[in-house]
Chain A
Amino acid sequence: MGKMIRVLVAKPGLDGHDRGAKVVANALKDAGMEVIYTGLHQTPELIAEAAVQEDVDVVGLSILSGAHMTLFPRIMELLKEKGGGDIMVFGGGIIPAEDVEELEKFGVARVFGPGTDTNDIVSFLKEKLHG
């Protein structure tokens, strides 16, 4: 077995739709990962700080409020600033295809849309992190 994968699952933005974030957090735990869940209404600053304190390998962001084009880049910027530039970032939520493209160009590893099989997220993370 490789190194333990540590994941921060965070819910930035003001909306309260945490169903997806919780389902993903549980699924990653069941797949043998250590998942730190930060709860709702998190500012980009708090998320980035938690990610470096917890020294996670990856941050999963769930955004359904339409603020993704602001929040993703902001969080990635802050991660870099705080010395967590090597932390992988992936996302999920209601995000139109053209925005997904732009986010991936910006360095978001992957955006999982509605209806994603959590197994796909698990295998994506394992492949990316354990190769």
Chain B
Amino acid sequence: MAITIFGLLLVTFLIARVMPIDPVLAVVGDRAPADVYEKARLDLGLDKPLWTQFAIYIAKVFTGDLGTSVLTAQKVTDDIKTVFPATLELATLGTLIGAVFGVPFGIFAATHQGRWPDQVARIVGLLGYSIPVFWLGLMGLLLFYAKLGWVAGPGRLSIAYQDFVDPITGIVMLDAALQGEWDAVRDAFSHLILPASVLGILSIAYISRMTRSFLINELQQQYVIAARVKGVPEWRVVWGHALRNAVVPLVTVIALSYMHLLEGSVLTETIFAWPGLGRYITNSLLNADMNAVLGGTLVVGAVFIAVNLFSDIIGRLADPRAR
């Protein structure tokens, strides 16, 4: 686990350092005279050998110091405290939408296996895998924001509400609710719903397909046949018996889909001007802002490991053989 994270940091470090982007530019800009430039280069420690630079960084990470971002002039830990909840908010609602639509969709397909509803479900599910998310986001903005005016545009809050909501958890809707600013909650929701739906469509595809195959698997089991023979109503067979047994893999799948949304939100965040983790990493990368890139990567790696661990534990807890 620690090795994975270490490897992740190493790979990130190497890639970011071989990129032909001068990190000093982000500090001093294009116009700086030679002496100013040189001073900034030394301040960043860029005169030291690559391995030394990496060793210094790792040593600092152990003391909980992720360094300062050049771009935002803030501690990377502080930056992450603001960008991570933004992504979390987006991915959580996205996964929720994915699960609420995806699971029934998958069940529907499984109970009509091979017939036309299954074919339709299959095509719709695969469509979710086939739409470029940035395009879907643009089309969503065009239709629901510009033409119909049903939702609010890019960003997390309308400008009028910007200063009313103080960050407590970093999740705007929650913060607004805690402070009793119900208008701000509504506003935040109308900003959130479109990007979350765009992400949700990706996760509907994944969750519905997985639900279908798990359920088909369960429906072929002996106990289902037995229940049917005993005359248990079909809806109870499906919802009561088969689904209950498919819950464990399903939870794992939803957790995995959550992780994909967390890291897959780079383009969605770009389209919707959402100040989240994906955009933070990308932006830092293109500015060779090393501390920020590494810090962001560390968070992604930690999430990856946490989700894997979580699904392992769930799997073990629920597996009767393991119990």
| A and B: interacting chains | no
**Which B residues lie at the A interface, using CB under 8 A?**
none
**Which A residues lie at the B interface, using CB under 8 A?**
none
